[in-house]
Amino acid sequence: MKRIEVKLAVHVVAPLLDLIKGMADSLRSELASPYAPSGLDPEFDAVWSGELLTAQCVDLQVLLGLFNEEFFADGVIALDEDNAEQIVRATAAVRLRLRSQYLGVLGDETLETGNVELEGLEEPLRKAFMCYLFLATIQELIIQHMDGSILDA
């Protein structure tokens, strides 16, 4: 089983965790990406969206679980084949929420390229942007270093 241990600077990541937790809290009751009901069967739509929300909540718990007491002691998070898919989904959900709540003013091209003058941003926007980039980096690490089967699932 492939495993990646990433050493992070706790003093840099810790302030971002408050924002991640806040986004995760808002995602406990609402999907990151709106579910478009089929309209054909309201009961099916309700069950399906409920299952999606439950899965999203589990994924977010796995992501937040990376930043436990051990992380604050040694600064290391462990990514492996057991948690990789869930972390990719959870980071995507948080990034979508960051984009909709804070980062929409920057535009998609800026978000994807990361070309922005950080010093020119107000503190809440700067923090949200740094969080967005941090989560993107986690996603990239997983995609680059894990078995290709994660992408086939």
Average pLDDT of the residues in 80-104: 94
Please give the pLDDT value at position 151.
Answer: 45
pLDDT band at 1 (very low <50, low <70, confident <90, very high): low
3-state SS record for 58-101: HHHHHHHHCCCHHHHHHCEEEEECCCHHHHHHHHHHHHHHHHHH
Q: Which domain holds residue 108?
A: 3-152
Please tell me the total count of domains within the chain. 1
pTM of the model: 0.88
pLDDT band at 109 (very low <50, low <70, confident <90, very high): confident
3-state secondary structure of 144: helix
